[in-house]
Chain A
Amino acid sequence: MTALHLLDPAPDVGGPHQPLLEVRNLTKHFPVRGPLWGAKPVARAVDGVSFAVAKGETLGVVGESGCGKSTTARLLMRLINPDSGTLTFDGEAVGSKLGLSLRDLRRRVQMVFQDSYASLNPRLTIADSLAFAPMVHGVSRRDAMAVAGELLGRVGLAPECFLGRYPHELSGGQRQRVNIARALALRPRLVILDEAVSALDKSVEAQVLTLLLELKKQLDLTYIFISHDLNVVHYIADRVLVMYLGKVAEVGPVEAIYGNPAHPYTRALFSARLSMDPDERTSAAPLQGDPPNPINPPSGCRFRTRCPHATSLCAEREPAPVDLGGGHLVACHLHEVAHG
């Protein structure tokens, strides 16, 4: 019986067909500095986002800056409180009196952040950083240190070489492994990876991705993988969610999204991928201008100001999600016509 089993993962409540996480109408607006009187502007960072994550899958979340994916991640972890919307973990509502408390939620959902250096307390040794969470939940210090050693071993770092070190002595890839180990310390069932490999060198990125896939199998995890790198998401995700300016533009199985992108934004995003072949260079930028500001989003469909197919309908009404079959949903008026 290893020390890791001192903390057991939360049991599976609803069975394999119940979504592990269900998000409905999540909304968060941030107040922004504005004029002294009159309406105070708000940044509508996340505006009515709904999706579900199935047990054992990897949900990829893509989008550019301002789309709200990092805010969504923090809302899921309740590091910030949503203005409205519900969160249901394995059938239990989060935050309500009868459902899951925040403390319980944090045993079930953990997060790995992008900045590997800022994610670790520079004054604590690696051992202390890893042992912190188990000790908070009642594990004795000695046992927590044993857990720390085991976790390091699992992520491919020799415990005797790294437990006594400080974060600044490790490379970016090593630190990120420690962050992953730290996220696993409480035996969560869902791990949110917020641009976890984006800041790493490509060769290290490959190592860490391999590690993540292995851990997922070994520990029966579910991942939400947030990234701006479409190639990595294509490799690792089972389903993909595309966000634009605080809303879900499209969601579906990875091959459907990559093979048959329905939303004009998704198509533009995919065309903006860099070619790896010097003989076949991209000749035209798929999209002009910069991703807009969530402070004053366009009325109706938020993408209409940059969309080559925008019509007057797009300015009047926000498109509702349309089911294209096979779990592929798109929020675009163009597809409403075909599918009623």
Chain B
Amino acid sequence: MSATAAKLPATAGPKPARSPGYWTKVGRRLLRDPVTMGCLAVLLAIVLAAVFADVLAPADPYKASMIRRLKPIGFPNHPLGTDELGRDMLTRLLYGGRMSLVMGIVPVLNALVIGGLLGIVAGFFGGRLNMAIMRTIDVLYAFPSVLLAVAISGALGSGLTNAIVALTIVFVPPLARIAETVTTQVRGMDFVDAARASGAGSLTIIRVHLLPNVLGPVFVYASSLISVSIILASGLSFLGLGVEPPRAEWGLMLNTLRQAIYVQPWVAVLPGALIFLTSICCNLASDGLRTAMEVKL
């Protein structure tokens, strides 16, 4: 009787023996979420439009024409009107999208790698190393992000690369913070102790046990930062610290079209509308991703 008592009949039943992985489940949940899928579709359209700007743009983004200044939306040959120098808005918005998206995504990616690494190291090893890293990060964190971006950008000078560097520095602290918090939480769980108890080294434990559990929440947080980055980048350009004229970039366009707001308000707000659309889609998609990933696993 004791022999059969130890053997557990397979209570699995008709279910398959291989379960779909975590990301498969997340993907399935996402597919069932209409809001998130909608936002992702819009974002994809914006990205594709920016990537294929060469093909899609009807005109030359730098070709100015004083006669055709500030024409309204629906003007023949200029479906979205023209800007204050007579350049085609549609073309400028398409090319501007490239700049804005690059300035939005690249800094977050950089910060994800740098901040994530710092946070994971701080969280895993704890103690003095943790204090050293996190308190240094806190110094940067104490500055409001806009001020910090402006200050660093101002010190480095204008230009795309400098703007990206400035924004990266702005985003490293929050990402490091969240990486450290999650790592500390996961580090305290029994399965990490069990892994240590098997004699595994720190790197193996980080790679096999920590990263898969930590990257998820950090990634979701990073995706919510993309919208902030786009806005900050536009802000920098608006202040003349990011991209320089005559390059097209949505923030810069907002700046130069400022005076036109009384003449052609609808044209003047177009870049702002696109910044808004992109940001809100990023935010909603990131929320949807968080919901899909948060379910008990």
Contact = CB atoms under 8 A, between A and B. Distances in A.
A331 B198 CA distance: 36
Contact of B189 (A103, A111, A118): A118
Contacts of A136: 198-201, 204
Contacts of A162: 10, 12, 17
B19 A123 contact: no
Nearest to A204: B8
B128 to A, nearest CB: 14
Interface in A116-175: 118-125, 129, 132-133, 136-137, 156-158, 160-166, 168-169, 171, 173-174
A84 interface: no
A214 B199 CA distance: 26
B19 A166 contact: yes
B199 A106 contact: yes
B194 A156 contact: no
Interface in B146-192: 189-191
Contacts of A124: 208-209, 212
Given A118-B189, A132-B200, A161 B194 contact: no
B212 A123 contact: yes
Interface residues of B, number: 33
Nearest to B200: A136
A156 B9 CA distance: 8
A110 interface: yes
A56 to B, nearest CB: 19
B63 interface: no
Contacts of B5: 206-207, 210
Contacts of A115: 190
A122 B47 CA distance: 34
A136 B196 CA distance: 11
Contact of B194 (A111, A164, A165): A111
A211 interface: yes
A186 interface: yes
Interface residues of A, number: 49
Contacts of B2: 210, 214
B189 A156 contact: no
Contacts of B209: 121, 124
B55 interface: no
Contact of A132 (B3, B198, B297): B198
B296 interface: yes
Interface in B1-47: 2-3, 5-8, 10-12, 16-19, 22
Contacts, number: 109
Contacts of A107: 199
A223 to B, nearest CB: 16
Given A113-B190, A210-B6, A165 B17 contact: yes
Interface string B269-297: 00000000000000000000000000011
A118 B19 contact: no
Interface in B66-88: none
Contacts of A214: 2-3, 6
23 contacts: A79-B196, A110-B198, A118-B189, A118-B190, A121-B208, A121-B212, A122-B213, A123-B212, A132-B195, A132-B208, A136-B199, A137-B198, A156-B7, A156-B8, A157-B8, A162-B10, A165-B18, A166-B19, A179-B194, A186-B198, A206-B5, A207-B8, A210-B5
Given A121-B212, A136-B199, 16 more contacts: A74-B193, A106-B199, A113-B193, A118-B189, A121-B191, A121-B195, A121-B208, A158-B12, A161-B12, A164-B19, A166-B297, A174-B11, A185-B198, A186-B199, A207-B8, A210-B6
Interface of A: 74, 77, 79, 102-103, 106-107, 110-111, 113, 115, 118-125, 129, 132-133, 136-137, 156-158, 160-166, 168-169, 171, 173-174, 177, 179, 182, 185-186, 206-207, 210-211, 214
Interface of B: 2-3, 5-8, 10-12, 16-19, 22, 189-191, 193-201, 204, 208-209, 212-213, 296-297
The 9 closest A-B pairs by CB, nearest first: A164-B18, A133-B198, A123-B212, A161-B12, A106-B199, A119-B190, A158-B10, A161-B10, A118-B190
